[in-house]
Amino acid sequence: MKKHTTSSRMHVLYLPRWYPHRYDPMMGLFIQRHGQSVLPYADISVLYVHADDKLKDQLYEIVVSDNGIFEVHIYFKKSLIKPGFIANTINGFRFFKSHLKGMKEILKHRTKPDLLHVHVLTRCGLVAAFYKLFNSVPYVITEHWTRYLPTTDSYRGRLRKWLTSLVVKHAGAVMPVTANLRDAMIEKGLKNDNYVVIPNVVDTEKFKPQTKNNTSGKKILVHLSCFTDKQKNISGILRVIKNLSGRRDDFLLKLIGEGEDFREMKTLSDSLGLTGRFTEFTGLKENEALAELLANADLMIMFSNYENLPVVILESYSCGVPVISTKVGGIHEHMNNDLGRLVTMKDEDQFLEALDTFLDNPKVYQKEKIRDYAVAHFSKEVIGREIFQVYTSVSKQFSDTDN
């Protein structure tokens, strides 16, 4: 690969906690899309480090690729010692050493980064903070994690909180994906003078309205998730679908995805007598196959106990499909009467009535209005421009201060 030598374009290095990798192509896909949205304005590199318990004959494996974004994946051998202090110390050392190796690999192919972009705290933020200290390069942060929200309250530990507050304090900007997440972070003591809310991005060219090929005569409802019942409350969805099936039979729910509770949820659907008649489990779908499923749907449903702003809601909007969801996280920030309806978390009766009402009058929603909202708020052009404006502002301010 040729070394990047363009001096007129900013070089931004992403340091993500989550990113697509060889064991999970969907992990952090929304972070990759953030990077793709900025490519018209800047050169983007990614250094992603992953603990791997499948490595046998080597401690570190480096995988380099370039598909517009220059990506360096480093897999380090996960400690086989029983989980605890010693194992955590070994894994922590290998994690940071992997970043040193990755930085060297990046510099073989590209010039020194002008800016670092951390996605998901805290460890990658520490890498960026040290890089700033020793190389005089500013960094920004995008946070996606729900751990700061009162409904999860998993942001714990004195050392973690202290380190996180330092990392956030010294960032050039912090870009949570919702205002709700911003407020939760500030409430946790994560102070920064430059919070900028920028949502996730949607490929509006891939996710777009299509001519529907549904010949069943039934309305198609879809739910897409990682099948973690604690968060997504799929069991609650299935109970509501069971009650809805007692009222009518003019619908089919397609559950898209896979995850830790997939088999349990499939078993629950079977036991309720839903599978095959009222529910269909499609498994994991990606790219065009996923876009086609969403575009052929009449309604997207979410019944989560906690969220930020799920990308699947934005993708549904892009396909012109309305959404019924619980009012959790930042979902309400991008919901109005033209886009769908919000219901109270865990309120199965209210969710049931919302679905029943929609099935009685699905034409109340206009596909074009929903699609237009998505393009105006989540397209690559819009999000890429907003992110790059933050990059240029932070770089200029840092340069002025440094001088």
pLDDT digits (tens, 9 = 90+) for 225-266: 999 999 999 999 999 999 999 999 999 999 999 999 999 999
The 8-class DSSP code of residue 231 comes to H
User: Which of 3.40.50.970, 3.40.630.10, 3.40.50.2000, 3.40.50.300 would CATH assign to domain 219-378?
Assistant: 3.40.50.2000
Q: Which strand ranges, in their side-by-side order, compose the sheet holding 299-301?
A: 279-283, 251-256, 219-224, 299-301, 323-326, 340-343
Average pLDDT score over residue span 173-199:
96
CB of 248 closer than 8 Å to CB of 359: yes
How many H helices and E strands in the chain?
Answer: 13, 13
pLDDT reported for residue 216: 80
* Amino acid (one-letter) located at 301: I
Question: Per-residue pLDDT for 150 more than 90?
Answer: no
Chain mean pLDDT for the chain: 94
Question: How buried is residue 337: exposed, middle or buried, by Cβ count under 10 Å (0-12/13-18/19+)?
Answer: exposed
Domains 10-201+380-402 and 219-378 share a fold: yes
Average pLDDT score over residue span 310-338:
96
Q: How far apart are alpha carbons 246 and 274 in whole angstroms? A: 11
Q: E strands within 294-358? A: 299-301, 323-326, 340-343
Question: Per-residue pLDDT for 174 more than 80?
Answer: yes
Matching residue, tokens 């209210």: 350
Q: How far apart are alpha carbons 233 and 346 in whole angstroms? A: 8
User: Which of 3.40.50.2300, 3.30.428.10, 3.40.50.2000, 3.40.50.720 would CATH assign to domain 10-201+380-402?
Assistant: 3.40.50.2000
The domain ranges of the chain are 10-201+380-402, 219-378
C-alpha distances (whole Å) from 60 to each of 39, 253, 366 are 29, 44, 52
Q: How far apart are alpha carbons 238 and 221 in whole angstroms? A: 12
Question: Per-residue pLDDT for 158 more than 70?
Answer: yes
Confidence of residue 2 (pLDDT cuts 50, 70, 90): very low
pTM exceeds 0.85: yes
pLDDT reported for residue 175: 98
